[in-house]
Every structure is written in C-alpha cells, then in structure tokens.
C-alpha cells in the first residue's frame, strides 16, 4: 500500500512516477523497498490516467455505502434475548454461592 501512496504523492507534486522516485519516497517513509513491487507498480500505472482514477474513486466508495448498510446485523430475536437472561441468572447464582 505504501507504494500506491508514494505514487499518489509523486503525482500530486507533479513528479514523474518512475522506479527511482518511488524508491526514494518509500525508503524516506522508513519502509523497506521491494524492487519487484516498485517495477510492477510503475508498469501498471504506465497507461493509467491518475486524475481520472482519483475522480472515479469516490463514486465507487459512495456506491458501496448502501450495500454496507444492507449488510448490517439485524436486531437480536426475542429468543436470543431470553437466552441472555438465563445466562446472567446462572452467573449470579454461581457468584452468590462463592459468598455463601
């Protein structure tokens, strides 16, 4: 992920996104540089319009938000609530037996 952040930083500063610049930014962050990942990212970004990709990103995130709401857990059923009450009662009985 640090490689993608480095590429975005270089793009924002209007610097070339090449292997040397990526290595410099990643190493300045304190992370170890993986040559294969640097080469792979530079090759992957060669034909990408980063401005367009950044503009499209919020749309994808906003579209995912309703799906996340639909996947939210439902309220516990009455039966589950009753079981919780029984567990609490059993715990209290066990606790009271410790103190006589």
* Cβ contact 39:32 at 8 Å: no
Q: How many alpha carbons lie under 13 Å from residue 32 in its C-beta half-sphere?
A: 2
Global pTM exceeds 0.85: no
What is the tens place of the pLDDT at every residue in 5-43? Answer: 999 999 999 999 999 999 999 999 999 999 999 999 999
Tokens of 71: 């996947």
Higher pLDDT: 54 or 70? It is 54
What domains can be seen in the chain, in order of their start residue?
2-98 (1.10.10.1410)
Distance of CA 67 to the CA centre of its chain: 16
Separation between Cα atoms, residue 68 and residue 81, nearest integer Å: 25
The pLDDT of residue 27 = 94
Separation between Cα atoms, residue 8 and residue 17, nearest integer Å: 9
In the DSSP assignment, the letter for residue 39 is H
For the cut 80, the answer to whether the pLDDT of residue 69 exceeds it is no
């Amino acid at each position: 992920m640090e490689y993608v952040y480095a590429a975005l930083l270089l793009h924002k500063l209007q610097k070339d996104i090449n292997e040397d610049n990526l290595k410099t930014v990643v190493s300045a962050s304190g992370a170890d540089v993986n040559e294969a990942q640097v080469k792979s990212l530079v090759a992957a970004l060669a034909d990408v319009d980063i401005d367009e990709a950044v503009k499209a990103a919020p749309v994808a995130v906003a579209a995912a938000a309703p799906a996340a709401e639909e996947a939210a857990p439902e309220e516990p059923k009455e039966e589950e609530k009753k079981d919780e009450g029984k567990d609490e009662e059993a715990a209290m009985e066990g606790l009271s037996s410790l103190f006589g």
